[in-house]
Structure 1
Amino acid sequence: MMMTYTVREGRTVRHEGIPDAEVLREAAWIDLLTPTREEARAVQDALALEMPTREEMQEIESSSRLYREDDTLFLTAPFLYGVDEGEFGSTAITFVINARCLITVRYATPKAFAVFNARVLRTPALLTSPDGTMLAQFEHVVDRLADVLERVGADMDRASRSAFGNAHSQKKVKVKARDAQMKDVLIALGQVGEVTSRANETLLGLTRILTYVGAEKDFFVRKESKTTIKTLMRDVRSLVEHAAFLNNKANFLLDAVLGIINIDQNGIIKTFTVASVALMPPTLVASIYGMNFQSMPELNWSFGYPAALLVMVVSAVLPILYFKRKGWL
């Protein structure tokens, strides 16, 4: 899908679909979402640009993600998307920027982009220059990532309270319910780690783009955009540090939860071990008197049966008392 944004008479005009070549040349921003061959060819013919393919956008080497051709910059970075839907991931988005317009090529819609698309219609000033439009999009991305990291931190705090609260009150909670809660905690911590890792990947991609654009001395980035770049760099740097803190905290909580689970499992195994040891003497007694030899004097005792039962009970109780005295129970 192609969306073209043009400023006319102080208003933002959006056109969906493939417009005329003249409209493409006048556009301030061309947004390509999962572009077809016809859409990509129309942009290439109208603006004399070679649009990157999806395979080229997914290459990881820096020279393939950040490069310049004549008077046009091609900037690619991974962006986090789908956090609200619970099916999050990273998608590569390419920003093609020159003195005339900004072109974005993407195959998913992060929420920051959806919000920016709606805001552009209300605020035509965001389309006054290609570099200003791109940096305004980056500001929305950074704000969105800050909200995501705040939410992730809150989710991690709830998971922490649930895990340690269950550990303190495990005698009052049924085993099945406690296991289900621990499973939910592990899933929550796993999602926290995944989201923070992908958010950090997005922030590092933004850092590379901002550094690359800021280093273009002879490029058409305006002076006021230089200040915006420095502000964005500071914000991105602080979010990178916060994401690293959340990731380390998630790893610590994950180790702690796994330790609690191991303690519970060790308690269960210890109980089975004590039960096995306590039942060994009664089993021995029962095995001895279960032998049908002819010359067994106890077989003729009138009180032999209750005596054997008493011996088995005593032989089972004595190990349990010994374990309790040692503090093993």
Structure 2
Amino acid sequence: MMPSFSQLRPAIRPSTVRSRRAERRAAAEGPAPKLRVPLSAYVVDCGVYIDGERLPGRWLHDEAIAEVRERGEGFVWIGLHEPDAEQISGVADTFGLHELAVEDAVHAHNRPKLERYDDTMFMVFKTVRYVGHADPTTTNEIVETGEVMAFLGRDFVVTVRHGRYSGLREVRRRLEEDPEQLALGPAAVLHGIADHVVDTYIEVCSQIEDDIDAVEAEVFSPRSMMNPEQIYVMKREVLDLRRAVMPLVGPMRKLSEGYSSLVPHDVRSYFRDVDDHLGGVAEQVAGFNELLTTLVDAVLAKISMRQNNDMRKITAYAGLISVPTMIAGVYGMNFDNMPELHWDFGYPMVLLVIAAICGLLYRNFRQNGWL
């Protein structure tokens, strides 16, 4: 008996039918609306400071600035971590931040700089972190970078961080333990951030210096096999550090010389101290770059010298082999009338001549350092 058409058609599961209906309904309704992430998800901390003391309680950014402006004293410090454009727009509207600076704060990847917009300042810092390795001659990354951006006004500081190693929790704690310093206003917070960033530069430079010393000892050890690629990777990491340090020299000099009225005279002396430390770091980083260039040249010269020594050894052994080869070739031509061909002592004499010539060549090669 022939099966019916319904028996030949594969069974369709009800779940499959429902999923297809759901797909058609979703296509007709359009894409699902994107969930709005609250600003609190990006806020690390928000504090109100009056006479260097932090007011108790948790504050929203608009409530905090309203409290400060109602009192007519103090300032707000709000910290954000990698906010998007939609979330930071509320903060920008509340504090009157310039749209170009806000765009830089959202997208990051900026050079260290200092810009002034009407009655606010915007400063970018590059943060660095040393990544330790068991062997400093490895080709892994040794410097990781992040960014800290600060908006400075007369009664507020807004900090925006990018990267895992750009935290300011320790800076906030240290400043809160020093109310006299914090009472100097938002400029004191900017100084604390600058001092923290430059201190990390000094620490990273000290650790890189130890690595470079280890590489230098390895390069100039008698039997080292250092790969120039390893030094090049370290040179590239030093270049990342240089990109963080060098562009910051100019902005720090401006802050120490009275770039804006937002930085009072009492705080400028602190910035001069940071500027002095930053100058020392800049000189140290420039020295690292020159020293690594010298080490790369030394490794290449060492490789070239090793290749020359190998070629001289090969040439010397080829000269030694050519003597018996030439003599054996002459006496292997099978002519009837050849000197000493039928002499009883011809064979020992040829071996003796070969040994004497080879011994003489070997002594000369040894004296000249070819073997």
1:204 to 243, 246, 251: 246
> What's the counterpart of residue 151 of structure 2?
96
Deviation at 1:101, TM superposition (A): 1.7
TM-score normalized by structure 2? 0.68
1:157 to 174, 192, 213: 213
3-state DSSP of counterpart to 1:116: helix
1:78 is aligned to 2:129:
no
2:316 to 274, 280, 284: 274
1:316 & 1:12 partners in 2: Cα distance?
A: 94
Deviates more, 1:205-214 or 1:231-240: 205-214
Deviates more, 1:295-304 or 1:87-96: 295-304
3-state DSSP of counterpart to 1:67: strand
Where structure 1 has 5 or more consecutive residues not aligned to the other structure, the ranges are 171-177
Q: Deviations over 1:208-255 (max 9, x none)?
A: 222333455552212211111111122212222233233333333443
2:116 to 57, 61, 68: 68
* C-alpha RMSD of matched pairs (Å): 3.7
1:5 to 39, 46, 49: 46
3-state DSSP of counterpart to 2:155: coil
Identity among equivalent positions (%) equals 23
Deviation at 1:71, TM superposition (A): 1.0
Q: Deviations over 1:33-91 (max 9, x none)?
A: 2222342223223323231246875466x9xx432222111222433335447442444
1:243 & 1:231 partners in 2: Cα distance?
A: 19
3-state DSSP of counterpart to 1:45: helix
- Name the structure where helix makes up a greater proportion of residues: 1
Structure 1 residues 14, 81: closer, same or farther in 2, change over 3 A?
A: farther
Larger radius of gyration: 2
1:197 & 1:107 partners in 2: Cα distance?
A: 20
Contact kept, 8 Å, 1:72 with 1:96, in 2: the verdict is yes
Amino acid at match of 2:281: L
Structure 1 residues 200, 326: closer, same or farther in 2, change over 3 A?
A: closer
2:336 to 295, 301, 316: 295
1:205 & 1:29 partners in 2: Cα distance?
A: 26
1:220 to 258, 262, 277: 262
2:360 & 2:314 partners in 1: Cα distance?
A: 17
**Number of equivalenced pairs:** 309
> What's the counterpart of residue 173 of structure 1?
none
Where structure 2 has 5 or more consecutive residues not aligned to the other structure, the ranges are 1-41, 69-74, 134-140
Deviation at 1:265, TM superposition (A): 2.9
Contact kept, 8 Å, 1:281 with 1:312, in 2: the verdict is yes
Deviates more, 1:274-283 or 1:246-255: 246-255
1:245 & 1:93 partners in 2: Cα distance?
A: 26
Deviation at 1:140, TM superposition (A): 1.3
> What's the counterpart of residue 355 of structure 2?
313
TM-score normalized by structure 1? 0.75
> What's the counterpart of residue 44 of structure 1?
92
Q: Deviations over 1:264-297 (max 9, x none)?
A: 3322221112111221222222333444x46365
Deviation at 1:107, TM superposition (A): 2.1
2:322 & 2:341 partners in 1: Cα distance?
A: 22
Contact kept, 8 Å, 2:258 with 2:265, in 1: the verdict is no
Deviation at 1:100, TM superposition (A): 2.2
Amino acid at match of 2:92: Q
Structure 1 residues 122, 269: closer, same or farther in 2, change over 3 A?
A: farther
Structure 1 residues 52, 146: closer, same or farther in 2, change over 3 A?
A: same
Structure 1 residues 315, 112: closer, same or farther in 2, change over 3 A?
A: farther
Q: How does 1:6-45 map to 2 (within 5 A)?
A: 6-7=47-48, 10-11=53-54, 19=60, 21-23=62-64, 28-45=76-93
3-state DSSP of counterpart to 1:29: strand
Deviation at 1:29, TM superposition (A): 2.4
Deviates more, 1:310-319 or 1:139-148: 310-319
1:105 to 128, 135, 160: 160
1:5 & 1:194 partners in 2: Cα distance?
A: 38
1:221 & 1:54 partners in 2: Cα distance?
A: 21
1:326 & 1:201 partners in 2: Cα distance?
A: 49
